Amino acid sequence: MIEINNLHKSYRMGSNSLHVLKGIDFNVKEGELVAIMGPSGSGKSTLLNILGMLDEADKGDYVLDNVPIKNLNETKAAQYRNKFLGFVFQSFNLINYKTAIENVALPLYYQRKGRKERTEKALNYLGKVGLAEWATHLPSELSGGQKQRVAIARALAADPKVLLADEPTGALDSKTSHEVMDIIQGINDEGKTILVVTHEEDIANMCKRIVRLKDGVIVEDVQVEQVRASQYV
Amino acid sequence: MFDRDRWREIFEAISKNKLRTFLSGFTVALGILIFTILFGFGNGLKNTFQEFFVDDATNTIWLFPGRTSKPYKGFAINRVVEFRNDDIEDIKKDFALYVDYITPRISRSGLTKYKGESNTYVTRAVGPAHLLCEKTIIMKGRYVNDNDIKEKSKSVVIGRLVEQDLFGKKENAIGKFIEIDGITYKVIGVFQDDGGDNEERYIYMPYTTRQLVEKNTDKIDQIIVGFKLGIGYSGAKALEISLDKYMRDKHVIHPEDQNGLFIRNVAENVKQTLQFANILQIVVAFVGIGTLLAGIIGISNIMVFVVKERTKELGIRKALGASPKSIVSMILQESVFITTIAGIIGLFIGMTILKFTGTSLKDYFITNPYVEIGTVIGATIVLIFFGALAGYIPARRAARIKPIVALRDE
């Protein structure tokens, strides 16, 4: 599903440049649930952003679902993001003046789906994360865990190939973190490929594979025995 | 172009971000409102000005006969020059290209009686064209016409105040007979005039009738020539000189005789007033442009602020698959929509205020303020355009920045 070869990325900080990713080789197969771990500054969020086409690599190959991702203009990148990827952010990033269901329906709007279909699908995915009765609430009326569940529903709404989650539990307490991970595991059980960036060991252990980054290179890549989040909920 | 879903998206953004909508709408509405009112008041000022100074037609040349002060071609000094009916015909024929209308005027004062009432009024014996040079307004009945001139009919057109004096407020003068200096005339019309009370105490009659009464002469007191407006100020000057020469030749007056013939060119008198009116117009335009500029700056500021405020939202939309083009067009469509509606509202309120002002500010020299609809619509379009432009530049920038940067924006 994801193939990466010799990926490099550096940021220019005034006169000196900061080499963040120093040659990453990394493959993800369909249906995997991968945790990307590492101390801050190790490049894990940068890697995720490049995978999510939110940022561009300086060097290296990236193939997503057999489509080479290279030299994309913004319009093309936007199309690919819409078609292939779903995002879950640490800070939720819901549009604050839209209700839960409108937020979930937004990716479908950019897929040019009809209004009726959008509403139906959005409600369906909201139901999946257990928030059907909160559909008409604004983000400001929801708790942190609920917001993140809305964000997950939104990420799923476009039926993407890969779900990318950047510290999805970073802003949540451990109980809601487990609720969110339970939902993520459930989605993965249905066959969706998911990448989760985290710095929490217990969250990482709820995935099936852990990739550890340090100073821009992969130092460890292991399959782990998945801990089910449901036992904590 | 018309995409129902996109409009729905825009209406949602508009209705759920009331402060933003209000700010940009208010700026534009206020800008247009102030523009309309200031511009309208400026025009009102011009109206007052014109009313004060430009009562009579401004395209007239007046010819008066005098008494010669120089001997010329065998004629002695002190000869009385007299205009005759054929002068009218000749000028009409020889200056046909420049002359719009021409009329004689013979003024006499006469004791006028109706039933018990009597008073002395000035009668003016004129031709039909006199209506134009005095800008006389017929209230009822009709003015002196060509048939009256031909028939030398004993008909008169009386001023509004003459009717009031002689007939009281209730009686209708039309068709009644009044007596002037012992001769009975039929009242065929009543007129009013913006020139003031004095102008409404005149009595007009056919000049041929007056000549008949005065022992069937063909003498004329003065000639009023209305020239075609198209010839302009310089054309009027040239016409004045040719008329002067023409009449001096015809009546054998020395070319340098100051007293034999007098010519008054009204275009001369109103030149300065017209210039002053032009300056007023420039001041009004200046005020309008200034207001518009302030409005443009206002809406530009707000658009920059709006886009800045939405940076994060735009980042989210981009992450979810919005193309840069759709981001820019969304912002533009929203801003153009708000500014158009607000502009129309401002325009409507402004026009309504002007309409109801009418003559109520006459004490402040503002009469019937108005704006040409084209001017305000143009102003609105300018504001909409600059609002859109001011939105487009930051929107394009916002659409270009990487979503990851936009998402980091707090």
pLDDT, tens only, B223-281? 999 887 667 677 788 888 999 999 998 888 888 888 888 988 877 766 666 677 678 77
Highest mean pLDDT among A53-62, A202-211, B316-325, B394-403: A202-211
Q: Could you report the per-residue pLDDT of B267-287, keeping only the tens digit for each?
A: 776 666 667 767 877 888 888
**Cα separation, B190 vs B205, whole angstroms:** 12
Are the Cβ atoms of B407 and A54 closer than 8 angstroms? yes
Q: Could you report the per-residue pLDDT of A139-167, keeping only the tens digit for each?
A: 999 998 899 999 999 999 988 989 999 88
Residues 6 or more apart whose Cβ sits within 8 Å of residue B202: B121, B122, B123, B124, B159, B162
Per-residue confidence at B358, pLDDT binned at 50, 70, 90?
A: confident
The B-side interface with A (CB below 8 A) comprises 5, 8-9, 12-13, 16-17, 312-313, 315-326, 399-400, 402-404, 407
- Closest in B313, B321, B404 to A79, CB measured: B321
Under 8 Å CB pairs connecting chains A and B tally to 69
Which residue, among A186, A219, A221, A182, has the nearest Cα to A202 in the 3D structure?
A182
Task: Answer yes or no: is pLDDT of B86 > 60.
Answer: yes
Among the residue ranges B10-14, B30-34, B63-67, the one predicted with the least confidence is B10-14
CA distance B25 to chain A (A): 19
Q: Could you report the per-residue pLDDT of A88-130, keeping only the tens digit for each?
A: 988 889 998 899 999 999 999 988 888 899 999 999 999 988 8
Are the Cβ atoms of A102 and B316 closer than 8 angstroms? no
- Say what the pLDDT of residue A122 is: 93
Are the Cβ atoms of B403 and A107 closer than 8 angstroms? no
Q: Could you report the per-residue pLDDT of A210-227, keeping only the tens digit for each?
A: 999 998 899 999 998 888
User: Please, are residues B33 and B348 in contact by the beta-carbon 8 Å criterion?
Assistant: no
- Say what the pLDDT of residue B170 is: 82
pLDDT (average), residues B366-374: 81
What's the CA dihedral at B288, B289, B294, B298 to 10 degrees?
100
Backbone angles phi, psi at A194, to 5 degrees: -135, 135
Kindly identify which residue of chain A lies nearest to residue B403, measuring between CA atoms. A54
Task: For residue A185, list its beta bridge partners.
Answer: none
Sort out which chain A residues have CB atoms less than 8 A from B9's CB and list them. Answer: 109
Residue with token string 């008949």: B212
- Say what the pLDDT of residue B1 is: 45
Residues B123-142 as b/e (b if ≥16 CB within 10 A, e otherwise) read bbbbbbbbbbbbebeeeebb
Are the Cβ atoms of A109 and B9 closer than 8 angstroms? yes
CA distance B319 to chain A (A): 7
**Cα separation, A107 vs A84, whole angstroms:** 11
Per-residue confidence at A32, pLDDT binned at 50, 70, 90?
A: very high
- Closest in A49, A81, A95 to B321, CB measured: A81
- CA separation (Å) from B314 to A141, A161, B197? 22, 23, 71
Kindly identify which residue of chain A lies nearest to residue B16, measuring between CA atoms. A97
**Cα separation, A34 vs A194, whole angstroms:** 6
Q: Could you report the per-residue pLDDT of B131-157, keeping only the tens digit for each?
A: 888 888 888 899 999 998 898 999 999
What pTM does this model have?
Answer: 0.66
Give A145: exposed, middle or buried? Use CB within 10 Å, 0-12, 13-18, 19+. Answer: buried
Kindly identify which residue of chain A lies nearest to residue B318, measuring between CA atoms. A78
Backbone angles phi, psi at A26, to 5 degrees: -170, 130
User: Please, are residues B77 and B69 in contact by the beta-carbon 8 Å criterion?
Assistant: yes
- Say what the pLDDT of residue B2 is: 59
Sort out which chain A residues have CB atoms less than 8 A from B5's CB and list them. Answer: 109, 112, 115
- CA separation (Å) from B390 to A10, B42, B335, B347, B406? 34, 30, 10, 21, 20
Per-residue confidence at B406, pLDDT binned at 50, 70, 90?
A: confident
Kindly identify which residue of chain A lies nearest to residue B406, measuring between CA atoms. A54
pLDDT (average), residues B191-207: 85
Query: Which residue, among B316, B329, B397, would best test binding to A if mutated, counting the most A CBs under 10 Å from its CB?
Result: B316
Which residue, among B61, B110, B62, B105, has the nearest Cα to B85 in the 3D structure?
B105
**Cα separation, A200 vs A39, whole angstroms:** 10
Are the Cβ atoms of B404 and A79 closer than 8 angstroms? no
First to last CA, chain B: 33
Are the Cβ atoms of A109 and B399 closer than 8 angstroms? no
- Say what the pLDDT of residue A194 is: 93
% chain B with pLDDT above 90: 13
Per-residue confidence at B51, pLDDT binned at 50, 70, 90?
A: low
- Say what the pLDDT of residue B116 is: 83
- Closest in B13, B16, B323 to A74, CB measured: B323
